[in-house]
A and B are shown apart, each in its own frame.
Chain A
Amino acid sequence: MKIKCKKIVGGIAKGKLLFSDQPINFLAMLDLKTGQIMDTNHKLNNLALKDNILVFPNAIGSSVGAYTIFSLKNNNTSPNGIICTNSVDITTASGCAISNIPLVYIEKNNYEILKNHYEEKGKNSEDVLLDAENESIILN
């Protein structure tokens, strides 16, 4: 199945979906060495972004979060791709732009399809293909 999305930063990425319905303050919450979210108030606490396709509303808080995304990439702990579901904020867009991490935006109805797929298949679902160049997310 193919889901339409809007390209913000181009490229192609593969990975398992990692869903968060909460926004992320990259500077405050991320452990750069492990790529884990370290915030007991966050539902993804202790989970690592590495190798996944992160699906989240948008970034919040610090403007320096853009460098955090870049550091994750350099430390090989970044997500393979990012999907924003509320709005693509400037921190995420600029961080992905210099890190060459494919970044897309999806509309609400497409988000629901993606979420249903994730819930049906569970966390052990097959990798999805995020093809930012062709503005599509390909599910198995």
Chain B
Amino acid sequence: MQLTREEEKAISGEYGEANAMAYRILVAIGEATDAQNLIPIKWAHVSGVNYNTIGDSGLNFLRKISEDGGRISVKSSLNPMGFDRRNIPDLPQDFIDKQLEITTYYERIGITPTFSCIPYEILPIPESGTQVSFAESNAAVLANSHLNLITNKESALSALASAIVGKAPYSDLRTEEYRNPTTEIVNESDIENELDYGLLGYFIGKTMKKSCTGLCNLSKKTDFWNIKSLSAGIGTSGSCGMFKIKESSKNNEKISFGDKEFKETKDELNTSEDGQIITFGSPQLGFEEICKITALIEGKKFTKPCKIFCPRSVFDKSEECGISSILQKSGAEFICDACTCLTPLIKKENYDSIITNSVKAAYYMKTSNKISVALKDVKTIVKEYSN
């Protein structure tokens, strides 16, 4: 990769150790992805906040970056942490202290503490074709596929490095060549709701070895919740960072997603018939989705505990509109700043099984938290678990 003289100086430590570390990360990625040079980006979304996931090593790394003068040079937002900062739950004090310490370092680096995995629903979207740097796999896939933004499927560290340096290696999905699919998934099953879209996404991630996939026989006009589930599914199971809903092309290699593939995917993730608690929000719910659940549950009560994970700003808006109180009256509990995925709030000690409509939650609950999952779409959940 070609570096400018300024970039060479930075990597040798002339602008501080944090800058040098950021450049070292970007150069390794440049080598890995055959980039010729670094290009400017306008927005970095950084993951690696939850103490449950980054642990003491991550905490120490962030402390060092913040002490070594690491400061953002572009707009930067932050992924969820382990719990709700304004409603601290009953967790070990050590966890709480370390989690808050991590957030202090990110704030010192200058990253806006959005604590959200859906930055695209809470911050203004830049103009079409803007280069950004999104870690958080659902956000990267959705940004490329639905918002006309340009990013690679970044890692927690590459997005942090790009937040500091304001640049990213020019490679892979950042180049036009890679954004045109040569392989396509042909949908041959009846895809209806957000759960079905999530399952399709999980299948795509698992099957597709390329950075961008075509997606045929699927309506372009679909609910945003469906697009979000599709993106989260793709991000969870694979390395693919973009889909394009399109007409089939003669020359493209084709992979079918029929009833058999649908069933196999569901059987892998749906590990329980029933669960002890309902969780919504992985990725976190946006305002529209909260409105949809409200419309379904209004006047009724959940028959099982129900946790709704959403960004603080989405909760505030729901509160202003009087929607959150309807949900709270129905027995739902809101948790801001966190997400179902790898939350320390749902542990094997307390729960054997959960009910959710999220394929991403199902995968991480099963694999990391060792908890069984009953996968049902939102309408079915409200129908079966309310009266």
What is A's interface to B at a CB cutoff of 8 Å? 6-9, 23, 25, 27-29, 32, 39, 41, 58-68, 70-71, 73-75, 86-98, 103, 105
Find the A residue at minimum CB distance from B169.
A90
**Does the CB pair B57–A74 fall under 8 Å?**
yes
B158 within 8 A of A: yes
With both chains docked as a complex, state the minimum distance between the C-beta of A27 and any C-beta of chain B, in angstroms: 6
Decide if the interface of chain B is mainly helix, strand, loop or mixed: helix
B252 within 8 A of A: no
Complex Cα–Cα for A59 and B135 (A): 14
Complex Cα–Cα for A96 and B237 (A): 21
Number of interface residues of B (CB under 8 A): 46
**Does the CB pair B136–A9 fall under 8 Å?**
no
With both chains docked as a complex, state the minimum distance between the C-beta of A63 and any C-beta of chain B, in angstroms: 4
> Within B271-315, which residues are at the interface with A (CB < 8 Å)?
none
Chain B neighbourhood of A27, CB < 8 A: 53, 342, 368
If A63-B48, A66-B155 touch, whether A87 touches B239 (CB-CB below 8 Å) is yes
**Does the CB pair A61–B238 fall under 8 Å?**
yes
If A28-B363, A61-B237, A66-B157 touch, whether A71 touches B54 (CB-CB below 8 Å) is yes
Chain B neighbourhood of A66, CB < 8 A: 48, 155-158
Write the B337-364 contact mask toward A (1 if CB under 8 angstroms, else 0).
Answer: 0000010000000000000000000011
Interface residue from A41, A67, A90 paired with B33 (Cβ < 8 Å) = A90
B42 within 8 A of A: no
With both chains docked as a complex, state the minimum distance between the C-beta of A107 and any C-beta of chain B, in angstroms: 13
With both chains docked as a complex, state the minimum distance between the C-beta of B201 and any C-beta of chain A, in angstroms: 12
**Does the CB pair B153–A64 fall under 8 Å?**
no
If A29-B367, A67-B53, A67-B157 touch, whether A93 touches B29 (CB-CB below 8 Å) is yes
Chain A neighbourhood of B364, CB < 8 A: 28
Find the B residue at minimum CB distance from A41.
B268
**Does the CB pair B209–A9 fall under 8 Å?**
no
**Does the CB pair B239–A59 fall under 8 Å?**
yes
With both chains docked as a complex, state the minimum distance between the C-beta of A138 and any C-beta of chain B, in angstroms: 21
Interface residue from A6, A60, A87, A90 paired with B154 (Cβ < 8 Å) = A90
Find the A residue at minimum CB distance from B45.
A63
